[in-house]
Structure 1
Amino acid sequence: MAKEKNTKNTAEPKFPLIYLVPLIAVLAIIPLIVHMYKYDTGLTKYASFQGPSTTYDFFLHSKMTWLLFILALCIFILAYMIFAAEIPAVWNKQLLPLVIYCALTFISALASTDIGYSFSGIYEQFESVWILMGYGILVYYAFYVISSEAALKRLMPWFVGGIVVMGVIGILQALSHDLYSYRWFQKLFIVPSNATQNFKFKFNFEPGRVYLSLYNPNYVGFYVALVVPVLLALLLHTKKILFKIGYGLLALVMLFCLFASQSRAGIVALIISCFIMLLCMRRVFLKNWLVTTITIGLVAVVFIGVNVMNHGILIDRMKSMFSTSAETHPLESILTGEDVTVTYNKQTLHITTTTDDDENTTFTLKDSSNKNVAYSEKEDSIVITDTRFPFTLTAINEQKFKGFGVKIDDKTWYFSNRLKQGDSRYYAKGAGSSLVLLTNHEKSLKFLEEHYHFANMRGYIWARTLPLLKKYFFLGSGPDTFTIAFPNDDFVGLYNSGHDQEIISRPHCMYLQIAVQTGVPSLIAFLIFFGWYIISSLRLYWKQSYESYMSKIGVGILASVIGYLILALTNDSCIAVSPIFWVLTGIGLAINRQLKKASVHAS
């Protein structure tokens, strides 16, 4: 009995839960928050902005608010642990590029094209400078707090609990029973009590498509890529059969959600990251070859099942992921100024108008040789009879708009030189009452210019984003200002690429997002930080025997980080999932530190 008592006394004490609260909140709670927020975008001051003046947010602003609170809590707990509890601060030279990245981000915010948005967050983003720098705080906090296996073991069940809740939400959405579509759930959790009694909303996702609580189905790919490798690591470590079954089923549920979200990039990224994990843990997987074979078989069954449920859409989308033929667009450009200049099938038409006192409009049409272009008059419009320009023009003399419309193919474009006092130039009509001067925009890579629909219509966005790097090379346009920096006044490009009536608020590539918003030097610092982490981790985990809990979780987190970074080639940083990525990175660094320390002691 005495011996038993002594064993209990020497057992490792539980790690204080209070220190883990910020990490638990980021990994398991904040991603689940969905709450209505009504706000004024403030962007109508920009003529090219085609969005609403007042709108609603459900997925991002509430997450931002709570994350800011958690970041403040991180700073408070760090101060307490270092100065009051006298737990020494820790440092690793690998953190230096991250410090440089955060410093450049803050300098970029001070030099921002719109400093207000850089510090408060913008429409459809809400990743202000405080959030971007906060990611660095999360990395350091996790690196500092996860100082032992006991800390990691106490944190992981909370993370798994959050994944379980996400899994339930995802299964219901896949089965066309989206919780967020139910009025009782909206009133209970989403719509604030001061909203109108009859307020109703519906998210624009087709039944059966999974988006979880993450704003967009694409971010389901991010989430699953982050959690599945960790679940596999837990499955491989536990000796209890019920836990093995539980982790295995939860991983399959996450894969089911991924397939039902139709995130093709998520599937590719997860395959690559899990393959890297398999290579690092090759001896473990070979030792457990039966479990490995069964797992691969079950994944294939889930994929086929979801594909059949959705009438073959998964395989069709995978086939078309990067297959696109070169495009030609008859409408090449529209320029406004002294006249309206339309280039169509390499032929140029110049349009000017005169309006008499009785508001009768006369059109003058000239080609590139300054020759008159023939047309015939109808009751309320004119039709160009010259076959080079199959357009219809209509004069508009209404109280809200005085100008004319030009119907080209399936779209009517509106212009006026009568709505700005003292300015006789022609403007294109944008959203609401906005008037936009249409100018030439710098071209990009030839391939992208000929493949606007490449990578699910990202080709055009990348084509217009790359030229921005020259303008914003050193300090960027400022955190959260991509919407302002992007040429949303390229009406013809937006039309030809299928983005007509849209606001391009993100480049659909995290690396371009960083380069444009906070500058190319900040992107270099970012890449050095993660490149250093990945290379040092691969060296560490290639030689591991994987007998310890920390080594298995560490390689799982490495796979998660790699999967996220691959996905970031075609998706942006988003406050819905990015905090999880940064926390896992900090935990990964902490585990690496502990494993290296243990290796030194062992030798």
Structure 2
Amino acid sequence: MSQREQEVQGKYKFDFSWLAYIPIVLLLGIVPLIVRLVKTDIPAEYILYVTGNNIDMFSQYKSSFIFALVIAIGIILFLTFNKSYMKWEESTKIYYIVAALFAIMTALATWLSPYKEVAVWGLPNRAEGGVMIICYIIIMLYSFYVMNKGSDIKFVIIPLVFLVIVMTVLGIFQYIGKDLFFTEWGRKLIIPEHYAEDRALLTNLYSDGNMYGTLFHYNYMGSFAAMMLPLFLTLTCFAKGMGKKAVFAVATLGSAILLFGSTSRAGLIGVACSAIVFIIIFLKYLIKKWKIMIPLIIAGITLVIGLDLATNGAIFSRIPTLFRDIVAIIQPADESFDYRDHIPVRGIVHSEGQATIEMNGQSLTLSMTDEGIRFEDQNGEQVIYIYFNMGPEQTRYFTQDKRFEPFMFHVREVNGENYLQMSYAGTGVCWFSVNEESIHLVDQFTKEPMELEEPASIGFRGKERLGSARGYIWSRTLPLIKESPLLGYGPDAFAFAFPQNDLLGKWYAYETPSITVDKPHNLYLQIAVNQGLIALGAFLVLVGTYIVNAIKVYAFRRDYSSKEIVGIALFLAVIGYLGAGIFNDSVVSVAPIFWILLGTGMGINSMVQKEQKGVKKKIEHATIDMKSRKHV
């Protein structure tokens, strides 16, 4: 081949390596924005808090697209696999081992779950079954595999900048009460045409001013912002080039707006964890550049205070409660505390076809007679309840007896069977089946007979309301791990494992017993209960290895290369998510972003380590050469 031909071939040679990043770009920039209504069915034996069709807007379609993109990843790997992209350094082998262990334990937990169908694909409105969790692992390993050039980081950063900007625009409209999903074009975008006339289908969206974007709940917006804010703030501070700094500054501002606009305390905790690690890593650099950093810190504080004033104190509205919760955690528990002293009902017992509602100092017994339902107090004296019938859904029993006046019984008919729904001061409490022979407490959803449950609990006595009832959830969740420590109950099966019959505990914690606890509000408890302690251990070793490795590579240095700055930014984003995970769990709207950033961070760290070792060897060789020359 002539020199001219070689020059022409080199001139028109195209690099198609970017095609491998298409799944990652879509997973980061498009999938989190998907909102589309779908009605899903679950088998009758799994009905817990839904009956018949269940509405999902934020999870099912995202889950389907994630699954499809993972299949695309498999095809790409089959067609283009390159052994040289595999990273087999001593520090990275453990990633493959523990990731495989996590996936294997997830698969076993799914296969052996007593709620297999839910464990495979997940519950409606969550859609995070075993298949999806294994998809996360594949996404992480693929991100680790393809990240081989520092310049490729643009395929991660650019879609994230786009995502933050879109989320910020949506979030601002939601914050001011003009949610774009409630507009005519917004409804057309997210609701299929055959459901267009059903105006009630948007009742699950939040219109109270909290920013949730397209992430299902403002708490998950907090997890998202806990990754994005430290990521883009780090890039803004240390990236080279005014153009890049300007773009990253816009993304940083958007991330801060999303963090505070979500009012998520989990997000604040995540950012606080990232801030601590930021200071540790950049300590020497911050001391060296203190004249620049102090004005930046003052500007940041001024900006946040300005946002708080502009929103009439909404920015800092939940921070006082966060500090109160932290203080409450530190304080010793009151072992004499009994939450039943603080709610109207202490228990419900059944005897000889009667149901007795035990209260503090008195009781009310319901029984069937030839004349209908009879109400008696603790002394056997009749309590006069008036039967009031104003048509369907308007029939009830109420009393003017001051002792029991807040207790009202609504007559309900479901599938031809008669029930009483008891309410207290307008709050629904429980349901009773009613027939000629007996009155008995039933599950409000399945209508199966039940007894009030007083489940085992660990810790948080008297602190059940801590963290929006997270103290209650955690105290009842910890004993579940002891019951099934190795494989858990199956992915997304937490709702079935949790003691839902603990109506009185819920009443105290949530101020209503009519609620289903379907998630632990803690990433680590979620893994332990759903997939078992081995899976949790594998996850902790995975992220722990990454954290230790990142600290070794980046901490306590005076200067950093552009690639190292990116590695640190990714590291801080991972820390933000893990910190928010103390109060939040995994969800398909946010989790893929975390797993991609984790895999990408692992890849950047591997590159940086190789470069650092190369520099170290050059210095060693230069030192040896200088010593040999002196000796000569």
Normalized against structure 2, the TM-score is what?
0.83
How far off is 1:516 after superposition?
Answer: 0.8
**Contact conserved, 2:356 with 2:366, CA < 8 A, in 1?**
no
1:281-322, Cα deviation, whole Å (9 max, x unpaired): 234444544553343233323322333344323434111125
In the TM superposition, 1:68-87 aligns within 5 A as 68-82=67-81, 87=84
Aligned-partner Cα distance in 2 for 1:35–1:393: 40
Match of 1:184 in 2: 185
Aligned-partner Cα distance in 1 for 2:164–2:526: 28
Aligned-partner Cα distance in 2 for 1:395–1:150: 66
Alpha carbons of structure 1 residues 37 and 415: separation in structure 2 relative to 1, 3 Å: closer
SS at match of 2:583: coil
In the TM superposition, 1:503-514 aligns within 5 A as 503-514=516-527
Alpha carbons of structure 1 residues 171 and 548: separation in structure 2 relative to 1, 3 Å: same
Aligned-partner Cα distance in 1 for 2:398–2:214: 51
Aligned-partner Cα distance in 2 for 1:60–1:495: 29
Aligned-partner Cα distance in 2 for 1:479–1:39: 18
Match of 1:586 in 2: 599
Alpha carbons of structure 1 residues 219 and 209: separation in structure 2 relative to 1, 3 Å: same
Aligned-partner Cα distance in 1 for 2:83–2:382: 85
In the TM superposition, 1:98-113 aligns within 5 A as 98-113=99-114
Alpha carbons of structure 1 residues 50 and 340: separation in structure 2 relative to 1, 3 Å: farther
Write the letter of the residue equivalent to 2:226. A
- 1:355 equivalent among 356, 365, 369: 369
SS at match of 1:321: helix
SS at match of 1:435: coil
How far off is 1:540 after superposition?
Answer: 1.3
Aligned-partner Cα distance in 2 for 1:313–1:562: 26
1:563 is aligned to 2:576: yes
Match of 1:195 in 2: 195
**Contact conserved, 1:167 with 1:250, CA < 8 A, in 2?**
no
1:333 is aligned to 2:347: yes
Aligned-partner Cα distance in 2 for 1:51–1:456: 23
1:508-562, Cα deviation, whole Å (9 max, x unpaired): 1111111111112211111111111111211111155543222111111111111
Aligned-partner Cα distance in 1 for 2:411–2:268: 51
How far off is 1:404 after superposition?
Answer: 5.1
Match of 1:174 in 2: 175
- 1:451 equivalent among 454, 457, 463: 463
How far off is 1:81 after superposition?
Answer: 2.5
Segments of structure 2 that go 5 or more residues without pairing to the other structure are: 329-336, 388-396, 618-632
In the TM superposition, 1:303-318 aligns within 5 A as 303-318=304-319
Match of 1:483 in 2: 495
How far off is 1:454 after superposition?
Answer: 0.6
Aligned-partner Cα distance in 2 for 1:310–1:535: 40
Alpha carbons of structure 1 residues 249 and 396: separation in structure 2 relative to 1, 3 Å: closer
Write the letter of the residue equivalent to 1:344. M
Alpha carbons of structure 1 residues 394 and 544: separation in structure 2 relative to 1, 3 Å: closer
How far off is 1:397 after superposition?
Answer: 9.2
How far off is 1:590 after superposition?
Answer: 0.8
Alpha carbons of structure 1 residues 360 and 190: separation in structure 2 relative to 1, 3 Å: closer
SS at match of 1:497: helix
How far off is 1:491 after superposition?
Answer: 2.1
Aligned-partner Cα distance in 2 for 1:396–1:153: 62
Match of 2:58 in 1: 59
Aligned-partner Cα distance in 2 for 1:392–1:185: 43
How far off is 1:183 after superposition?
Answer: 1.1
SS at match of 2:39: strand
1:344-401, Cα deviation, whole Å (9 max, x unpaired): 23x5748352333xx5334566x5xxxx4434435446869796x7775769597855
**Contact conserved, 1:26 with 1:580, CA < 8 A, in 2?**
yes
Match of 1:90 in 2: 87
**Contact conserved, 2:171 with 2:213, CA < 8 A, in 1?**
yes
SS at match of 1:353: strand
1:463 is aligned to 2:460: no
Aligned-partner Cα distance in 1 for 2:16–2:268: 36
**Contact conserved, 1:167 with 1:253, CA < 8 A, in 2?**
yes
1:386-423, Cα deviation, whole Å (9 max, x unpaired): 96x77757695978554556565654655545459xx9
1:559-593, Cα deviation, whole Å (9 max, x unpaired): 11111111101111011011010111101111111
Match of 2:149 in 1: 148
SS at match of 2:260: helix
Match of 2:332 in 1: none
In the TM superposition, 1:4-43 aligns within 5 A as 16-42=17-43
SS at match of 2:318: helix
**Contact conserved, 1:12 with 1:150, CA < 8 A, in 2?**
no
**Contact conserved, 1:117 with 1:128, CA < 8 A, in 2?**
yes
**Contact conserved, 1:544 with 1:551, CA < 8 A, in 2?**
no
**Contact conserved, 2:410 with 2:421, CA < 8 A, in 1?**
yes
Match of 2:506 in 1: 494
SS at match of 1:585: helix
Match of 2:220 in 1: 219
Alpha carbons of structure 1 residues 535 and 412: separation in structure 2 relative to 1, 3 Å: closer
How far off is 1:594 after superposition?
Answer: 1.0
Alpha carbons of structure 1 residues 116 and 587: separation in structure 2 relative to 1, 3 Å: same
Segments of structure 1 that go 5 or more residues without pairing to the other structure are: none
Match of 1:517 in 2: 530
Alpha carbons of structure 1 residues 352 and 259: separation in structure 2 relative to 1, 3 Å: closer
Aligned-partner Cα distance in 2 for 1:333–1:309: 48
Residue identity (%): 25
Aligned-partner Cα distance in 2 for 1:376–1:80: 78
Aligned-partner Cα distance in 2 for 1:125–1:477: 16
Normalized against structure 1, the TM-score is what?
0.87
Alpha carbons of structure 1 residues 70 and 340: separation in structure 2 relative to 1, 3 Å: same
SS at match of 2:54: strand
Aligned-partner Cα distance in 1 for 2:556–2:10: 35
Aligned-partner Cα distance in 2 for 1:194–1:385: 51
How far off is 1:134 after superposition?
Answer: 1.1
Larger mean Cα displacement after TM superposition, 205-214 or 137-146: 205-214
Aligned-residue CA RMSD in angstroms? 3.3
1:67-88, Cα deviation, whole Å (9 max, x unpaired): 0011111122122222xx5655
In the TM superposition, 1:262-277 aligns within 5 A as 262-277=263-278
1:188-223, Cα deviation, whole Å (9 max, x unpaired): x31224434565635542353211111111111111
Match of 2:629 in 1: none
How far off is 1:342 after superposition?
Answer: 3.3
Alpha carbons of structure 1 residues 353 and 247: separation in structure 2 relative to 1, 3 Å: same
1:427 is aligned to 2:441: yes
**Contact conserved, 1:337 with 1:437, CA < 8 A, in 2?**
no
- 1:440 equivalent among 434, 453, 474: 453
How far off is 1:503 after superposition?
Answer: 2.0
Alpha carbons of structure 1 residues 352 and 202: separation in structure 2 relative to 1, 3 Å: closer
How far off is 1:275 after superposition?
Answer: 3.1
1:474 is aligned to 2:475: no
Aligned-partner Cα distance in 2 for 1:398–1:250: 54
How far off is 1:443 after superposition?
Answer: 3.2
**Contact conserved, 2:85 with 2:145, CA < 8 A, in 1?**
no
Aligned-partner Cα distance in 2 for 1:395–1:170: 40
Aligned-partner Cα distance in 1 for 2:250–2:290: 18
1:297 is aligned to 2:298: yes
1:342 is aligned to 2:357: yes
Alpha carbons of structure 1 residues 164 and 587: separation in structure 2 relative to 1, 3 Å: same
Alpha carbons of structure 1 residues 309 and 495: separation in structure 2 relative to 1, 3 Å: farther
How far off is 1:475 after superposition?
Answer: 0.8
1:447-489, Cα deviation, whole Å (9 max, x unpaired): x242221112212222221221122211111011112111222
